[in-house]
Amino acid sequence: MATEEEGPAAQTGRAVLSLATDVGGAAVLAARLARRMVPPRLDGPELWRNLYRMGVRSLPIVGVTALFTGGIMVIQAGVLIRRFGAEGLLGWGAGFTTLREVGPILIALMFSGRVGANNTAELATMTVTEQIDALETLAIDPLSYLILPRVLSMVVMLFVLTVYGDVLALLGAAFMGDALLGVSTATFWNGLLDAIRVWDLATGLIKSALFGGVIALSSSHYGLSVSGGAPGVGRAVNASVVASATGIFVCDYLATYILQ
């Protein structure tokens, strides 16, 4: 912990070392999980349970968010659409923005706040109450039994939720475009299908898989490395959410640059 006597240089150095420790810890965790994937060593029932609670239970909040996001994009675009008479571009603009950027990022941030934070809290609680140590005492590998199913579930379900959210966002945009701007749904979908390429959809889905990995590794790392008892659980959850959000934007920048 930093003291009052430490200067800016010492505090900066401490922050850099802490960042390096966390990034390195997440990388080591990823390597250890990769070793357990060949051949696959994970608990099947635990995988299905996590797929349900992380994915299916996230459908309502993702659906509502996506629908309103599509409507908001149309409202924001309405001024330019009316000014330049570019009704035919509404579908292209909404589709390009949703599929490549807004959909993957927004759904990933929602997923991080709901699923990632919950994962960190559960693992941190198990760590401070020595349940992780108890599993090792019983010759049960915590990474294969607990962590690997959660990581795979987050990657898979964020991918699925992104597809689901993209569809609903475009439906919301088409409906609001017809209701507010008088752009028919036929014009909207024709503009979208004429201009959007398969690669635009693939780019967003690749990003969603990367974001799922970032959230899974970040939340699991902070949950397993917690210290300080019960107060440490809250600090771990906060650090996990911040790290996940930061990682999402960093990965988005790199993926956008590479996949453009």
pLDDT digits (tens, 9 = 90+) for 37-89: 877 777 788 889 999 999 999 999 999 999 999 988 888 887 777 777 777 78
Confidence bin at 4 (pLDDT 50/70/90): low
Backbone angles phi, psi at 248, to 5 degrees: -60, -45
> Is the pLDDT reported for residue 1 higher than 70?
no
Confidence bin at 204 (pLDDT 50/70/90): very high
pTM metric for this prediction: 0.89
pLDDT digits (tens, 9 = 90+) for 113-155: 999 999 999 999 999 988 988 988 888 888 888 899 999 999 9
Which residues are bridge partners to 205 per DSSP?
none
pLDDT at 205: 94
Confidence bin at 229 (pLDDT 50/70/90): confident
Q: What percent of the chain stands above pLDDT 90?
A: 47
Map out the domains of the chain as residue ranges.
Answer: 41-259
DSSP per-residue codes, 31-90: HHHHHTBTTB---HHHHHHHHHHHHGGGHHHHHHHHHHHHHHHHHHHHHHHHHHT-GGGH
Task: Give Cβ neighbours of residue 163 (< 8 Å, ≥ 6 apart).
Answer: 205
More confident site: 3 or 101: 101
